[in-house]
């Protein structure tokens, strides 16, 4: 994480590869080395991440959320921790996992600007983003006049 005045960025971490004995970060994202990107963080997220960094001993290149042994979390352990946190908060009925968070961000940004959402998610074009990440909002037909008859109590 890099802070430059009011602008704070983070390097996007590539998917974790896991073998039978250890996990490690892929040297580059799925799209190859040219797909590396730096993301700008919102103010509230900067506060959260800087607070976490200040509570946990670290080196600048360290993981933001290391395991207890200061290694990379196995993806299944991350999902388990998310489920446990949701259970503690009483949100057991909500389907939450890392992809749900990703889709939420894609939808939130994409409803305003699909191109920005595609860039944030690392997609080559906004077509994948529109098809799989931006939840469509169904707009029903305009039946207000038909329903106005219910107001006629003569």
The whole-model pTM stands at: 0.64
Percent of the chain with pLDDT over 70: 75
Burial class (CB in 10 A: 0-12, 13-18, 19+), 29: middle
Query: What is the Cα–Cα distance from 7 to 39, expressed in whole angstroms?
Result: 10
- Measured CA to CA in angstroms, residue 54 lies from 30, 43, 51, 58, 60 at distances of 31, 17, 5, 9, 12
- For 83-130, write each residue's pLDDT tens digit: 888 889 888 787 788 888 889 889 999 999 999 999 888 888 899 999
CB 91 within 8 A of CB 102: no
The residue among 106, 44, 98 whose CA lies nearest residue 74 is 98
Mean pLDDT to the nearest integer, 27-56: 77
18 HSE (CA, 13 A, CB side): 11
Query: What is the Cα–Cα distance from 108 to 120, expressed in whole angstroms?
Result: 11
CB 23 within 8 A of CB 71: yes
- For 50-75, write each residue's pLDDT tens digit: 887 777 766 656 677 777 777 777 77
């Amino acid at each position: 994480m890099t802070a430059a005045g009011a602008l704070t960025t983070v390097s996007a971490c590539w998917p974790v590869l896991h073998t039978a004995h250890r996990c490690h970060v892929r040297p580059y994202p799925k799209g190859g080395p040219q797909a590396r990107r730096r993301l700008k963080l919102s103010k509230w997220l900067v506060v959260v991440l800087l607070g976490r960094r200040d509570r946990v001993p670290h080196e600048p290149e360290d993981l933001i959320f290391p395991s207890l042994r200061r290694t990379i979390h196995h993806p299944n352990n991350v999902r388990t921790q998310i489920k446990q946190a949701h259970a503690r908060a009483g949100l057991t009925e909500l389907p939450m996992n890392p992809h749900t968070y990703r889709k939420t961000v894609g939808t939130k940004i994409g409803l305003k600007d699909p191109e920005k959402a595609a860039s944030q998610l690392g997609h080559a074009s906004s077509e994948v983003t529109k098809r799989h990440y931006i939840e469509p909002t169904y707009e029903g037909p305009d039946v207000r006049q038909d329903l106005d008859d219910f107001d006629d109590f003569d």
